[in-house]
Amino acid sequence: MMSSSTPAAPSVATPPRRTDYPHFLAIPTRWMDNDVYGHVNNVVYYSYFDTVINEHLIRDGGLDIHDGSVVGYCVESQCRYLAPLAFPETIDAGLRVGHLGKSSVRYEIALFRQGDDVPAAVGHFVHVFVAREENKPTAIPPGLRACLERLMQH
């Protein structure tokens, strides 16, 4: 029996579904992604997050990672693990924008086993865009902003 002074366990929110994400990238797991327990190691999930975000920014937003005047810095990331993934599965990484500010964006990511409607992991990732030369926050350029707006839920 729980005493009145013992806090209750946090409730688990209903996970998002595949249809909640406007952009997907198929990411094959690699042999080296598995850990000694036979599933993808927890730190690798953050690499998948980084991959789906930057692939989209480069391909659809025109982000020039080599010579552009603006770069995105990750200032926060978080992952909630719901089910294990393992090599040789291919993951469908879903991406949407939860918040779009003047110089920052909060992405929401879900990693789905191909064919599943419920994610194996969900998380978020915050980019602050900075002027490369000054290394100070700057407004998100129009092309990138338009790309990010298309990922917002309406």
Domain with residue 69: its CATH number is 3.10.129.10
Q: Is residue 53 part of a domain?
A: yes
15 or 63, which is more confident? 63
Q: Is residue 61 part of a domain?
A: yes
Global pTM reads 0.88
CA 69 to chain centre: 23
Q: Is residue 46 part of a domain?
A: yes
Q: Is residue 126 part of a domain?
A: yes
- The CA dihedral of 18, 53, 137, 71, to the nearest 10 degrees, is -170
pLDDT computed for residue 14 by the predictor? 83
Count how many domains the chain has. Answer: 1
Sign of CA dihedral 56, 52, 50, 96: positive
pLDDT, tens digit, for every residue of 31-85? 999 999 999 999 999 999 999 999 999 999 999 999 999 999 999 999 999 999 9
What stretch of H or E contains 105? strand 104-113
Q: Is residue 11 part of a domain?
A: no
For residue 73, the enclosing domain spans: 20-149
Q: Is residue 12 part of a domain?
A: no
